[in-house]
A and B are shown apart, each in its own frame.
Chain A
């Protein structure tokens, strides 16, 4: 296990470095010109563009810039705007804010959204899947399966808007979505995130409910589940402990992937509900050619994804003792 973690962490570092390098070279070598977005209406002036490029540190060759970037992460660096302590991800091209702090400022929102949403779609999806599995082949099964699928076939930007219109603007049953720090006011935090969670989960639920349903059906037919029944375990225990345990592995896999990607920001949800998380930051940094911010967001999200996957793989061995970790 320790060996596994060490090996995987090393792999993760390599991956993160690779992604970092590739993205850096791709985006910094792209024919887009960030300077043009920081020149207001003065862009016709090549001298100004050069000036801006110097200000942004873009005048150096890309490998040198990359070197500075990497060094900055570990040792901090002196920048035109001032000293940037480690871990230094630079300053936004756009509003000159330190990238690291901006991301740290947005991350709680993203984490809240990801974890809360995941909790909702996991619980709901798995519950629906279990109901469907327990009553497989019946109308209940088809009804719940269809229900979750209808959710899936609609899109966040649509359901989100409708939900806001109905639940916030028309009936006022929910608070207007907004992020409040959990540490300051848990109740407000919950109230502010509830609607985004619900809407975010709608498109995920189908995947979980269907995966759960089919895995559960498979597991319920296993002989060892029959043994559990023969032991007098209650229907619930059999269902939730024995069958569920065997059904869990692929579900954990998708949770890992989904959570990983949510950690990188739920773009559409954030836009729909006017939340300020990494997703919005990512989109804005792309549209504004804000390369340091883009790199920063990317670094965060790819780290999250890689970690999520390591956790999933480590979990496999606990979920199924037959799996050997190496």
Chain B
């Protein structure tokens, strides 16, 4: 219910008994070592998710959304990645868990829909077979039953003639069909936690709607929790319960969907909302992106990582934005030095009109 999280620097205060949330991520750090240095892809992220709820994650491209998803499944290569922090799934620690434990959970209790569907599907096996496999493994179903299940799911995600197309190889599918195959694969075991990394970007809106309905169907039926990573605020608005806005590997704002979308508190969120094209907007007007360039994760700006692109450090005053890292409190909140009042008034005065 409540999207509660604790301030990153305040590890001592537990926000609710451990295990109360279905998934709870605490102080997650994921660092990659590269030629150029350490990439801090996720830099102190915390969130919780209850069963039957959907958490939307939006944010800058490259802000660590997919990496977070992968961490939950423990899919990073430990040799090249440093993962710190705590990920509790249904009371079970995931970060330190052995491969065997993780194997049993993956695809079964937790499933993930990958972003890049062509490369994420094996070119060597038919779509049907790839969907079958986790089902057989986790349910012990027979080959035939599994195949039937795969065909059923392909049908449900809207692949025409699923019986026939199940025999196809990924390269014979269109982009959207691959993505749907990917979704079918994730759903085949009715997972309790589904991490959907941009599940509908390659889909036309009608199919998208169908897929989103399918996801909520799953949620209703099995009380699954869903993490929906997306850029489409429209999708989030219609599907998610809670929303987490990420920037440079951190959460900058969180709250329920309507809270965040209707009364956003963080300048980055404002930027997102204002840069969104809408069906009704005036086409002659250029879109208004957030000024400046995304931060480098090699050398994240000091203090508030958003400050170089933010229009309001002056309102905060001094060099606080440059020096001090803003914290995000549990529940509804945002990581910004602006005071609550300032946030409200700035939004209502400057931002809301532009959303028209």
Q: Within B108-128, which residues are at the interface with A (CB < 8 Å)?
A: 108, 111-112, 114, 116, 119-125
- B interface, how many residues as a size bin? 20 to 34
Q: Is the CB of B134 within 8 A of A231?
A: yes
**Chain B CB within 10 Å, residue with most, of A228, A233, A320:** A228
Contacts of B104 in A (CB 8 A): 232
A321 to B171, CA, bound (A): 9
Q: Is the CB of A227 within 8 A of B105?
A: no
Main secondary structure of the interface of A (DSSP, over half): helix
A231 to chain B, nearest CB (A): 4
Partner pick for B137 among A224, A232, A242, CB 8 A cutoff:
A232
Q: Is the CB of B75 within 8 A of A232?
A: no
Q: Check B23 for interface membership: any CB of A closer than 8 A.
A: no
Q: Check A226 for interface membership: any CB of B closer than 8 A.
A: yes
B4 to chain A, nearest CB (A): 28
Q: Is the CB of B75 within 8 A of A229?
A: yes
Chain B's closest residue to A235 (CB) is B99
Q: Is the CB of B169 within 8 A of A321?
A: yes
Q: Within B57-114, which residues are at the interface with A (CB < 8 Å)?
A: 70, 73, 75, 79, 99, 103-108, 111-112, 114
Contacts of B138 in A (CB 8 A): 232
Q: Known contacts A246-B124, A320-B123, A320-B124; decide if A230 and B114 are in contact (CB<8 Å).
A: yes
Partner pick for A230 among B111, B116, B119, B169, CB 8 A cutoff:
B111
B123 to chain A, nearest CB (A): 6
Q: Is the CB of A230 within 8 A of B123?
A: no
Q: Is the CB of A321 within 8 A of B106?
A: no
Q: Is the CB of B124 within 8 A of A232?
A: no
Q: Within A215-267, which residues are at the interface with B (CB < 8 Å)?
A: 222-235, 237, 242, 245-246
- Closest 6 interchain pairs by CB? A232-B107, A232-B106, A231-B107, A231-B134, A224-B122, A223-B119
Q: Known A-B contacts: A232-B107, A320-B124. Give 20 more (CB < 8 A).
A: A223-B120, A224-B119, A224-B123, A225-B122, A227-B114, A229-B75, A230-B107, A230-B111, A231-B137, A232-B105, A232-B108, A232-B134, A232-B138, A233-B103, A237-B137, A245-B124, A321-B123, A321-B171, A322-B169, A322-B171
Q: Which residues of B contact A (CB under 8 A)?
A: 70, 73, 75, 79, 99, 103-108, 111-112, 114, 116, 119-125, 130, 133-134, 137-138, 169, 171, 182, 185
Q: Which residues of A contact B (CB under 8 A)?
A: 137, 222-235, 237, 242, 245-246, 319-322
